[in-house]
Amino acid sequence: NQYQIAVVVGSIRADSFNRKLALALAHLAPPEFTFEHVRIDTLPLYNQDLDGKQPAEVQTFKSRIAAAQGLLFVTPEYNRSIPGVLKNALDQGSRPYGQSAWGGKPAGVIGVSVGAIGTALAQQHLRNVLAYLDVPTLGQPEAFIQAKDDLFDDKGHIGNEGSRKFLQSWVDRYVAWVKTHAAF
Ligand code: FNR
């Protein structure tokens, strides 16, 4: 089987560490996994009045999520939670009621921050939302990554040996999780 993973990065800034982390993680995955970064910065703010006539950007976003066998959330922490742009994407993908794109898609949650807490609280908030959205989320290992100078090398791979080994074990568990829970 080929597994297509929809990658949702919780930061929309050009030089996002989280986007870099998402790209580096893809290098650690086996060839049967492909990763598609799904944009969230083109989504309008969620408005329930539009449930019956969702904007084209929302429909495109939902179809990308629906086409994937697994999800990978790579998010920074903003003020001890997830960024608003990510919550907006989660809300957009969940509606109209009964037509959520998320349900049943196995997911991994990971993130990098400049602070020592390494997105721990953002990830916990995200897990709360994903539980409600019926997204089976890899529980262990947890990965709270702090951005240090050698985190990425000049090719965009994980730059230091310790982080690479740890993230390889994380990706291995994530891959097994997706294979166990993916539906085709
Ligand atoms: C932050 N940052 C941050 N870091 C953290 O560890 N805990 C936090 O609660 C916050 N809060 C926060 C709020 C806002 C509005 C900003 C802009 C930033 C710092 C954050 O880790 C840093 O900006 C990262 O570089 C953001 O991730 P990207 O954009 O590099 O992927």
Instruction: Please tell me the predicted confidence (pLDDT) of residue 56.
Output: 98
**If you measure from the C-alpha of residue 21 to the centroid of ligand 1, how many angstroms do you get, rounded to a whole number?**
14
Give me the residues of the chain with pLDDT under 70, please: none
User: To 10 degrees, the CA torsion angle through 118, 124, 127, 129?
Assistant: -120
Per-domain residue ranges for the chain? 3-181
Q: What is the pLDDT of residues 144-159, one digit of tens each?
A: 999 999 999 999 999 9
Among 8, 77, 79, the mutation site with the greatest number of ligand 1 atoms within 8 A of its Cβ is 77
ipTM: 0.99
Q: Is the CB of 18 under 6 A from ligand 1?
A: yes
Instruction: Please tell me the predicted confidence (pLDDT) of residue 12.
Output: 98
| Domain 3-181 in CATH 3.40.50.360 | yes
